[in-house]
Amino acid sequence: MSGGDSREGGGRVADGGPRSGSDEEGRMRITVRFGSDAPSAYDVLVGAGIVEELPTLLSGLLEVDRIAVISDSTVGPLHGERVAAGLRAARLRTDLFTFPAGEEQKTREWWSRLTDALLAEGFGRDGAVVAVGGGVVGDMAGFVAATYMRGIPVVQVPTSLVAMIDSAVGGKTGVDHPQGKNLIGAFHPPRLVLIDPVLIGTLPRPERSQGLAEALKHGAIRDREYLFALDSEADALLSGEVVAIERAVRRSVRIKADVVSRDERESGLRQILNFGHTLGHALEAATDYRLPHGSAVAVGMVLEARLGERLGITEAGAAELISTSLQRLELPTEMPVRVPPERVTHFLGADKKVRGGRPGFVLLGRLGEVHPGEGWVHRVAEKDVALLLSEAL
């Protein structure tokens, strides 16, 4: 952990409805609305090299005395230290806090250690958090910000493809529990999301592949042509070509921002973003998080599309088309490790979408469209889920 000097800046938060555009340098700016009674908003900025502008952007956005950069043991040395140094150079008093990398570290224990560390360093309600890392860091740092002193601002600087494409936008924060994933958390919208596709260059190819599972999900639920575009650009995306990555990030962010602006707290439309995740999260938990998130969601999408086809809800052939695209993106379409079906069923029972003891599934009508069901979720008979799992596992 380290610190530096600080100075304050004027406050501004974007307002208005969800909208997007590009500035004179070609960077995308999209405004995400939240709050049904008195709508507020935050900007998502996407552009190569934009992370270097973070000190200037924060000075014009937040009125804070100190900044806590929160990262993990992998991303901290790669990007966290550089971000913290840039903020200090701009005379913003900054400390860097890290925790061990990995989904298995997204726990109440590490949330407690991080909040204890902020208290020990004297952070008050005039502090802010900058999350620098992938989805785990964004969830953890966001939850620290949501709960520290009853809530302080957070800025998301995603460094993984899955975080850029999906998890950094929307305001979900939280930690895992032995009973399941993300069972403890809060909705805490960021004040800014800064997405720099250049950062993807430090990721190994398998990590880029993992992030593309969420991109494919966006295509499957909202934009059929986007799904096919991901398939055709698979080589460029997996190689980390900045132009291809930025194109996919922009398209995914627009889809995610549109959905969460319409439903901030997952009471309706936002549930469509859970396609592949009901089973995916259960598969992750059943393997004690040895199965990466992207792989779990990939298998979950195939299985949930297959389930929809069997129930006569999803168009025939959707599962096969999703499988083909996943294979092009070097993602699994069936479980790479053995898991007892009853163990997966146990974690399905702890899913946040369970109502009356029955988990809810997001099912496609056809590629690019979700079948509305009851509030965008279908309650499926236990016997149908059990048969699906027994065949797949």
Q: Which residues are catalytic?
A: 150, 172, 214, 256, 266, 270, 274, 277, 281, 293
Distance CA 122, CA 324 (A): 53
Query: b/e string for 242-271 if b means 16 or more Cβ within 10 A?
Result: bebbbbbbbbbbbbbbebbbebbebeebbb
Beta-bridge partners for 29 = 21, 45
What is the C-alpha separation between 325 and 318, in angstroms, rounded?
11
Q: How far, in Å, CA of 376 to CA of 125, rounded?
A: 38
216 membership: H or E segment, kind and range: helix 205-222
